[in-house]
Amino acid sequence: MSDARAGGREPGSPRVQQRIPAIYMRGGTSRCLVFHARDLPEPGPARDRILLSALGSPDPYGRQLDGLGGGISSLSKAVIIGPPTHPDAQVDYTFAQVEVRKPVVDYKGNCGNCSSSVGPFAIDEKLVPVTGGVTPVRIHNTNTKKIIVAHVPVTDGEAAVGGDFELAGIPGRGAKIALDFLDPGGAGTGRLNNQPGATIQFTFKDAGEPGTNDTASITIKNAAGNTVLTVTGRLGNGNHQAHQR
């Protein structure tokens, strides 16, 4: 475990060193600083200032040389692990995306790459028991209010590092962390009409040419924080007025 030295200071104020334990991890094709929630202030400005300082943001030069960030979004992330607040989970996991050039910490979405770091962290920090050669860890992502199950290979009671899994963009091979995202629909925008997706159909009537109406359907779905908008149908008959059906 390394120390993330973060002053949590206001811009322009004197720097005061503060030792906060953290682990620097790679998850998928991202890197992140992983903290215990108990070592950080409650959610709010004080916590955000520590995350910003630890990663070296804001940096107008875009390099994050004063912190552990890497100057691009995939290398400027933080993960916070705490006790579960969901009855079906073993740990809570909060993802924080730290802006490189601005003093902004975004909690609106999750990161699938960083999600793969949570299981190994929970096992190595003895937050969950080892139950076999591949140990499932049930994770509550607080950003999306969803459950993720990480399947973590274990060697000698700790998360395995070596393995044969090869990931595009990452040199070498390592242990494979398989993730199950349970019921991911509606993670970012919530459910519309109690459904993870909604389809609204419109009839476009041509006031000047009866009988030449068009129909188009707009489908909005959300899964794992990504909103997808699909429009089907063809509008080609000129002067239309939309009437929802």
pLDDT of residue 189: 55
Same domain as 156, residue 239: no
- Predicted local confidence at residue 220, as pLDDT: 63
In this structure, is residue 187 part of a structural domain? no
Query: 159: domain range?
Result: 2-182
Cβ neighbours of residue 160 under 8 Å, at least 6 residues apart?
152, 153, 154, 175
Question: In sequence order, which residues have a C-beta less than 8 Å from that of residue 12 and are 6 or more positions away?
Answer: none
Single pTM value for the model:
0.74
- In the block, tokens 């009866």 appear at 210
Q: What is the pLDDT of residue 1?
A: 47
Q: What is the pLDDT along the chain (245 residues), one digit of tens a residue?
A: 445 544 445 556 666 788 999 999 999 999 999 999 999 999 999 999 999 999 999 999 999 999 999 999 999 999 999 999 999 999 999 999 999 999 999 999 999 999 999 999 999 999 999 999 999 999 999 999 999 999 999 999 999 999 999 999 899 999 999 999 998 766 655 554 445 555 666 666 555 555 566 666 666 655 555 555 666 665 555 554 555 55
Token representation of residue 60: 């107008």
Same domain, 125 and 216: no
pLDDT the model gives residue 183? 82
Residue 122 has a pLDDT of 98
- The domain total for the chain is 2
Q: How many residues make up the chain in this entry?
A: 245
Residues 171 and 203 in one domain: no
Q: In this structure, which amino acid lies at residue 4?
A: A
